[in-house]
Amino acid sequence: MRPRLDIVTVCLNAKSSISRCINSVRKDRMLINKFIVVDGGSTDGTLDILKRNSDIISTLISEKDKGISDAFNKGILKCNGDFVLLLNSDDWLLSGALEKVCACLSINDDIVCTTVTSYQNSKSVGMFNSVPVLIPQFNSMLHPGAFVRRTLYESLGVYDVQLKVGMDYDFFCRCFINGCKFRIIKLPLVNFTEGGLSRKLKYKVFQESFYLRKKYFAAKIPFFETRQLVCRLIGDILYAIGLKSSVTKLLQILHE
């Protein structure tokens, strides 16, 4: 029997992108146990779109929250499937990909990582895979493409609401040090939109990443954080002047 999959999407004033996300889930609805959407109290018409799609949304929560971690946690607590996928409101599933991934999943898996296609300003800038072995160095995990066994949230805890941008890194660090099994499936599943909160709060990413590496891996200096920060700053400049190929190379560096 195939493992049951739950998808959790959190959003806030996502009117311009939420329909694309929902429609991508709709295409694979028969493969999904639950589709849970947590809205942080949108005022731009997002809630109207969500209500119009109530036929495929298993649970809709719309209320103010304490941030992304809190919203993730609310959704996860409503899950009862074997695996949970966190799909951002401005990301979308690749058509037909979920069925291929489902065929590869095993009930014995802990975390299964798929290929993520990165988009910036509606243009693809490359395809990337998580690299779990590099977790002690930096956040080498792409959470929009990662299926997490639901019971790991029960045994290791959910997302830390004190963290603004490093909540996924914190969770994967806990998984890493507790010996969880990471498996890579090189199948494209999710189209990911660059430019989210972590891109806007680069210095917060720097701070929280180094804090977590000190906490879990006794890091002494922010070498990898400095490297990533410089690459992102250069990447923003290169993309602004139209050097897309150079941006792709920098993104590859960030995932090495």
pLDDT score of 195? 65
pLDDT tens by residue, 84-121: 999 999 999 999 999 999 999 999 999 999 999 988 77
User: How far is CA 69 from its chain centroid?
Assistant: 12
Mean pLDDT for the chain? 90
Rounded to whole angstroms, the Cα distance separating 25 from 22 reads 5
Tell me, yes or no, if the pTM score tops 0.75.
Answer: yes
Judge whether residue 214 has pLDDT over 90: yes
Architecture of domain 5-254: Alpha-Beta Complex (3.90)
- Where does the pLDDT of residue 227 fall: very low under 50, low under 70, confident under 90, or very high at 90 and above? confident
Question: What percent of the chain clears pLDDT 90, i.e. is strictly above it?
Answer: 76
Residue 203: per-residue pLDDT: 84
The pLDDT confidence band at residue 50, using thresholds 50, 70 and 90, is very high
The answer to whether the beta carbons of residues 47 and 39 sit under 8 Å apart is yes
Smallest CA-to-CA distance from 7 within 65, 110, 79 is with 79
